[in-house]
């Protein structure tokens, strides 16, 4: 009787493959860092100067923080969140070049294959987030070592959620162009109702409800609370909300991958 394929070696092989691909794709790394830096330097510094005109009243808008301190955790989470979606693009290219078909016909457990891919891409995104966290801390203010590590932990969960969502979308797409279009339609609203750029509390009720369904909202609020001590919802609720939405995204991606068939 043939031995059943082991789960852990398949998981490790896929995770390592994604890390190697990340290290060899320098343009992907640069692109994922440039976009958040543009937001920090042009959007963040510009609005910070505008809010400074209001004096102390401006800090009341952002829970006692300066605008740069308010924005910094959102920039870190945005970095890993956008990088995580690259996992879906990798699936499309693997399908184009036939690698996905080889994976699907292999005896390796499909759950291990996809989870390994997701974890590898999450670690790669987190490395980019760590670089961005150091840069924003230099601009906005040092949150302390534990604050920085806590913010990165929240960002890691957001990266896993976005990698899962990106993979879920990619498994239903056939072209990179279509994937980019759908991802932009999904990602941009999630970014704008995440609380990264402005507080969620003053928004209309229906937008706040959408924010509470957004994994990015919990990641940003948790990161801001851990880094600078200001948050809109209780931190245990942030942890529970982020964990729940991320778990649903991962489970949906694994279930979809398990049903994937390529002729």
Predicted local distance difference test score (pLDDT) of residue 22: 85
User: What average pLDDT score do residues 198-210 get?
Assistant: 88
pLDDT value of position 37? 78
What backbone phi and psi angles, to 5 degrees, belong to 48? -65, -40
Across 1-41, the runs of DSSP E, i.e. the strands, are none
Q: What is the pLDDT of residues 149-191, one digit of tens each?
A: 999 999 999 999 999 999 999 988 878 888 888 888 888 899 9
Where along the chain do its domains lie?
7-258
Per-residue confidence (pLDDT) for residue 59, from 0 to 100: 78
Token pair 């070696």: residue: 9
Does 4 score more than 60 pLDDT? no
pLDDT tens figures, 32-79: 677 777 878 777 888 887 787 777 777 788 888 888 899 999 999 998
Q: CB under 8 Å to 107, separation ≥6 — which residues?
A: 5
Q: Which two tokens stand for residue 54?
A: 């209001």
Contacts of 187 (CB under 8 A, 6+ apart): 81, 82, 85, 162
Q: What is the dihedral of CA 91, 94, 99, 100, to 10 degrees?
A: 30
pTM: predicted TM-score of the whole model, two decimal places = 0.89
**Mean of the pLDDT values across residues 17-45?**
78
């Amino acid at each position: 009787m043939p031995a059943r394929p082991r789960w852990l070696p398949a998981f490790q092989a896929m995770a390592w493959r994604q890390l190697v691909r990340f290290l060899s794709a320098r343009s992907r790394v640069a692109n994922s860092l440039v976009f958040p830096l543009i937001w920090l330097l042009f959007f963040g510094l510009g609005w910070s100067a505008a809010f400074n005109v209001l004096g102390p009243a401006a800090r009341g808008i952002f829970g006692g923080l300066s605008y740069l301190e308010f924005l910094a955790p959102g920039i870190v989470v945005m970095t890993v969140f956008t990088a995580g979606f690259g996992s879906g693009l990798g699936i499309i290219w693997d399908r184009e070049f036939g690698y996905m078909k080889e994976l699907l016909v292999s005896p390796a457990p499909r759950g291990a294959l996809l989870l390994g891919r997701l974890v590898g891409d999450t670690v790669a995104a987190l490395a980019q987030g760590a670089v961005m966290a150091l840069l924003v801390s230099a601009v906005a203010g040092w949150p302390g070592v534990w604050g920085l590590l806590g913010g990165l932990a929240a960002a890691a969960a957001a990266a896993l959620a976005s990698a899962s969502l990106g993979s879920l979308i990619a498994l239903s797409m056939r072209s990179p162009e279509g994937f980019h279009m759908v991802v932009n339609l999904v990602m941009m609203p999630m970014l704008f109702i995440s609380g990264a750029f402005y507080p969620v509390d003053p928004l209309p009720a229906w937008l706040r409800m959408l924010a509470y369904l957004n994994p990015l909202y919990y990641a940003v609020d948790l990161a801001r609370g851990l880094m600078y001590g200001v948050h809109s919802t209780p931190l245990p609720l942030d942890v529970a909300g982020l964990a729940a939405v991320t778990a649903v995204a991962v489970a949906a991606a694994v279930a979809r991958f398990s049903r994937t068939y390529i002729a």
